[in-house]
Amino acid sequence: MEVTTAGRSRGAAIAEVVAFPGRMMRRRSHTRAQALAETTFHGTALTCAVLVLVSMTAIFVELVRNSRLSLAKFGWGFLTSAAWNPVTSDFGAASSIFGTLVSTAIALLIAVPLSLAIALFLVEMAHPRIARPVGSAIELLAAIPSIIYGMWGLFVLAPYMADHVQPLLQKFFGKLPLFAGPPMGIGMLSAGLVLALMVLPFITAVVRDIFALVPSVMKEAGYGMGATTWEVTRKVTLRHGMRGVLGGVFLGLGRAIGETMAVTFVIGNDHRIAASLFASGNTISSTLANEFTEASQPLYLSALVELGLILFVITFLIQIAAQLWLKHISHRLGTDK
Amino acid sequence: MRRRPSWPRKLSDVIVKVLAALSALFGLVFLAWILYVVLRHGASALSWKFLTTLPSPPGVGGGGLANAIIGTAAMTLLACVMGVPVGLMAGVYLAEFGRGNRFATLVRFLVNVMMGIPSIIVGLFVYTIMVRPVGHFSGWAGAVSLALLIMPVVARTTEDMLTLVPNSLRESALALGVPHWRSTVQIMFRAAKAGLLTGVLLAVARVSGETAPLLFTALDSPYWPHSLNGPTGNLTVTIFNYAMSPYPNWQQAAWGASFLITAGVLALTIVSRALAREKK
> Considering only CB atoms, which chain B residues are within 8 Å of A58?
125, 129
Residue B120 pLDDT exceeds 70: yes
Give B279's pLDDT tier (boundaries 50, 70, 90): low
So what's the ipTM on this one? 0.92
All residue ranges of chain A with pLDDT < 70 are: 1-30, 332-337
Judged by CB atoms closer than 8 Å, whether chains meet at B128 and A45 is answered as no
- Give the angle B81-B83-B85 at the CA atoms, nearest 5°: 75
Write down all domains in chain B, each with its CATH number in brackets.
Answer: 70-237 (1.10.3720.10)
Closest chain A residue to B216, measured at CA: A293
pLDDT, tens only, B176-231: 988 888 899 999 999 999 889 989 999 999 999 999 999 999 988 888 888 888 99
Task: Give the sign of the dihedral formed by CA A87, CA A92, CA A93, CA A95.
Answer: negative
**Quick check: B171 pLDDT over 80?**
yes
Of A186-190, B36-40, B250-254, the range with the highest mean pLDDT is: B36-40
Predicted local distance difference test score (pLDDT) of residue A246: 86
Stretch 11-30 of chain B: residues touching chain A, C-beta under 8 Å: 12-13, 16-17, 19-24, 26-28, 30
Q: Which residues in chain B are closer than 8 Å to A62, comparing Cβ atoms?
A: 125, 128-129
Looking at chain A, which runs of residues are DSSP E strands? 84-85, 90-91
What are the pLDDT digits (tens) for A85-139?
A: 988 989 999 999 999 999 999 999 999 999 999 999 999 888 889 999 999 999 9
Domains of chain A: 2-66 (no CATH), 72-333 (1.10.3720.10)
Question: Residue A242: its pLDDT value, please?
Answer: 81
Residue B36: the pLDDT is 97
CB of B150 closer than 8 Å to CB of B202? no
Q: Which residues of A touch B37 (CB under 8 A)?
A: 152, 155-156
Cβ pair B209:A255 closer than 8 A:
no
Task: Grade residue B5 by pLDDT with cuts at 50, 70 and 90.
Answer: confident
Quick one: which H or E segment has residue A106?
A: helix A94-120
Q: What is the pLDDT of residue B280?
A: 55
Helices (H), B129-222: 139-164, 167-175, 180-182, 189-191, 193-208, 212-215
Tell if the CB–CB gap between A52 and B169 is shorter than 8 Å.
no
Tell me the helices (H) and strands (E) count for chain B, helix number first: 13, 0
Query: Touching check for B101 and chain A: CB below 8 Å?
Result: no
